[in-house]
Amino acid sequence: MRSFWGMLVVALLLAQAACGPHADEIQAAVANSVARAANVGLPALVEAERQQGMAAIQASPDRETARAKLTQIEHDWAPVWTAWKALSATQGAWATALEHGGDKAAAALAVRDAFCRLRALPLAASYVPEAAGLLCPPGGS
């Protein structure tokens, strides 16, 4: 039942943002919140991956072992960077819709889905903070 109410709140907020007299201001505030969360998360994600790589190198007895561990780290982090690119692209589309017109509600939903997918990834969840005004449904999208 909790997920139903959470999704209802998100739907109502997005409907208000898409239709209300201050729609652009509401969407701009949520977009700013997402951007701030992303700006906090990106350096933390980069540093976490770097630290994992350094630890792998230091714990490896030889170059081949280090290379294998680094390859695994890159593989593990690939979904995070794929989700990050999707978030970046959807944020750009939302900014364009807000600044120049377009389907703002669809762009907002796309950003929400991309942001929630990123936060749902175990490697990213502890580094990317929640965005005020944006509720992620259970499961990440």
> Cβ–Cβ contacts within 10 Å for residue 120, how many?
16
Q: Which of 52, 108, 122 is nearest to 80 (CA)?
A: 122
pLDDT at 102: 86
Q: What percent of the chain has pLDDT over 90?
A: 55
Selection from 51, 41, 32, 35 nearest residue 126 by Cα: 41
**Cβ contact 124:34 at 8 Å:** no
pLDDT band, very low/low/confident/very high, at 1 (cuts 50, 70, 90): very low
Average pLDDT in the 12-30 region?
67
Each residue of 35-62: pLDDT tens digit?
Answer: 899 999 999 999 999 999 999 999 999 9
Report pLDDT for 98. 86
**What is the C-alpha radius of gyration for the chain, rounded to an integer number of angstroms?**
18
Give the tens place of pLDDT for each residue, 75-95. 999 999 999 999 999 999 988
Instruction: Give DSSP secondary structure letters for 1-44.
Output: -HHHHHHHHHHHHHHHHHHSTTHHHHHHHHHHHHHHHHHHHHHH
* Contact between residue 30 and residue 112 where contact means Cβ atoms under 8 Å apart: no
Question: Each residue of 83-136: pLDDT tens digit?
Answer: 999 999 999 998 898 888 888 889 999 999 999 999 999 999 899 999 888 888
Decide if pLDDT at 7 tops 60.
Answer: no
Taking the C-alpha atoms of residue 141 and residue 128, their distance in angstroms, rounded to an integer, is: 15
At residue 91, the pLDDT reads 92
Q: What is the pLDDT of residue 16?
A: 55
In whole angstroms, give the CA distance from residue 16 to residue 51: 43
Specify the pLDDT at position 3: 46
Q: What are phi and psi of 53, to 5 degrees?
A: -65, -45
